[in-house]
Chains A and B, each alone.
Chain A
C-alpha cells in the first residue's frame, strides 16, 4: 500500500488529487459518480457575495484537445451556498476548499468573513485570475502589485489558509507567484485558463457570446507545466499544479516538476470518475516502482 498523503504544511491531504474549481460544481453534482471521500480535496465553484448570472450563451467552444469557456462565474452566492450546500458537504472526509471571488477587494473580504463562521472548510482558494469576468480579460493576477494587495487584504480577514490561484496570462509567472508569497499566501495554485478565442468562418461571428474565454484541457498542459516548474523553482511555499491533467502520468509530470499537489479540471467533464482514476494510477505507478511514499517524488526532476 503506497502512502499517497501529502503535507502542505498548513494542510494535510490524503492524496495530491484535488478537483478544480469551476469543473466540479459544488461537489454535490459528483456524488452519483464518485465517493468524495477518496479525493485529496475538491474546490467548489467560485463564490461571490451575491448570486451572479454569468455570461450569455454560447459559453463553450471545443478546440484542438482543448475547451474555451466563458461561463462568467454564474453562481448562487456565498449565503445560499453556506445555508443549502455546505451542510451537505462537511461530513465528507476530504479537504473542502472554497474558491473565493470578488468584484473588488472588499467583496473578497466579505465572502471570507461570512465563510469564516462556517464549519468544515479546509482552506480558501483566492480566485484573482478568472479571465471571463471583465470584457477585456483583465484580472488582479495580471499584476504583481494588485496581486500583493488582494492577497494581503484577504489574508488579514481569513481564519483559514489561503491558496492564491494565478493566471498564466502574464510575462513572468514566477514574479507574480513571488508577490503572492510575499503578501502571505499559504500556497499558490496555477494555472487558471489561457485567454483565448475562436471564430466561425462561415458566419464570421465569435464562437463565444463573450468573444473571449479561457482555454483549458490537454492543449495547455505543456505550458502549464513550464509555469508550475518556474514558480516552484522560485517559491518557498507549496505550488499546486493545474492545467490539462487527465491521467496519473500527467499528474506525475507536475509533481516531478515541483508541484506538491495537483488540481484536475476539464477531465472531470470528460469522465466524472477522472479524479478517482488518477489516484488509482498514481498508486499503481508507485507500487510498480516500489515507491513507498509518493511525496518523495516531488521536485525530483533529473
Chain B
C-alpha cells in the first residue's frame, strides 16, 4: 500500500520570496522520476486544510527537494517550517517528463519561468546523465526571481537567463530569448514549466518549428490522487476532447494535447 510519510526537513534555504526545502525520504528518492510531484500537508491541523502539490526539484541520495515561491497562505506557512521539523508527504505522484529512448547527444532545451524552474533541475541532471546536451532558459521579473541560477551553474549546467527589467541577462521575456536563440541551437526536444501564458507561447513556437515539447502544468489540486476531479484542464487525447485530471494525465502533458483557455489565445 502507498502511504503518506512523516519526513524530516533536512535543510532549508530562503531567498526573498523563494524557499528550497530538502526532505529525507528514501522511499520517494528511490522511485521519483523528473516531473513527478508530491502532496504536502502544510500543518497537522485543519488550516490550511488541503495538501499542496509540489514538483520534485531534486533527488540527492536519500533526500528529495522542493522549490517554491511564497504566494498564498499554504506556501507562506510552509516557508516557516524549519530544519528538523516533520512534514507529512504523499508521493511520488503523477506522470513525469518522457525520458524513454536514447538521449545521447540529443539537443534539449528546458524553459522555466519563475517558480516553474522547480522540476527542471531534476530533469536537467537526468538528461545530462543520459548524455544529452542540455540548455536551460530561466526567466523572471527581476534578478530576485532567479535564485537557482548559481545552483544550475554549480552543477555544470548551462543557464540562459532573462529578466523583464533587464537586471540580469536578456531584457524581456524568456520565450523571446529562447525564440531569438533557436536558429543557433535548434533543440530536438523542449521541456518547460511556468505560467500558462509562457507555456502557450512555447507550445506555439514548438508547433511552428515542429519540435516535440512537453509542458508541466500547474493546477489547483484537491487530492492529487484522482479522487476529487478538481484539477481538470481541457486536453485532446486519443481523439477525445474534454476535461482531464492533471494529477492523473500529467502534470507533464505533450504540448500538442493542450487546449488553451481563451485568455491565453
Contacts and interface: CB of A to CB of B under 8 A. Distances in A.
A54 to B, nearest CB: 6
A67 B49 CA distance: 8
A74 B227 contact: no
Contacts of A33: 1-3, 225
Interface string A22-38: 11110001101111000
A34 B3 CA distance: 9
Contact of A32 (B2, B220, B223, B232): B2
A268 B223 contact: yes
A66 interface: yes
B207 to A, nearest CB: 23
A29 B232 contact: no
Interface residues of B, number: 29
Given A53-B242, A272-B4, A71 B230 contact: yes
Contacts of B223: 268-269, 272
Interface in A214-248: 217-218, 246
B227 A24 contact: yes
B243 interface: yes
Contacts of A60: 220-222, 228, 230-231
A273 B3 contact: yes
A29 B227 contact: yes
A74 B225 contact: no
B232 to A, nearest CB: 5
Contacts of A71: 228-230
Interface stretch (B8-16, B40-48, B144-152, B181-189): B40-48
Interface in A49-72: 53-54, 56-62, 64-67, 69, 71
A64 B49 CA distance: 8
Interface string A126-152: 000000000000000000000000000
Interface in B1-51: 1-4, 41, 46-51
A30 B227 CA distance: 8
Nearest to B242: A53
A270 interface: yes
Contacts of B48: 62
B107 interface: no
B219 interface: yes
Nearest to B73: A62
Given A32-B1, A33-B225, A62 B49 contact: yes
A153 B1 CA distance: 42
A69 B228 contact: yes
Q: Is the interface of B mostly helix, strand, loop or mixed?
A: loop
A142 to B, nearest CB: 24
A59 B47 CA distance: 20
B90 interface: yes
B233 interface: yes
B103 to A, nearest CB: 30
Contacts of B228: 22-23, 60, 69, 71, 269
A54 B225 contact: no
B172 interface: no
A266 interface: yes
A118 to B, nearest CB: 22
B195 interface: no
Interface string A270-293: 111100000000000000000000
B226 interface: yes
B220 A61 contact: yes
A246 B2 contact: no
A270 B50 contact: yes
> Quick one: which of B3, B41, B46, B233 has the most chain A CB within 10 A?
B46
Instruction: List 5 tightest A-B contacts by C-beta distance, closest first.
Output: A60-B230, A269-B223, A218-B46, A65-B46, A25-B227
Interface of B: 1-4, 41, 46-51, 74, 90, 219-223, 225-233, 242-243
Given A45-B229, A53-B243, A272-B4, 10 more contacts: A23-B227, A57-B230, A57-B243, A60-B221, A67-B222, A74-B243, A269-B51, A270-B49, A270-B50, A273-B4
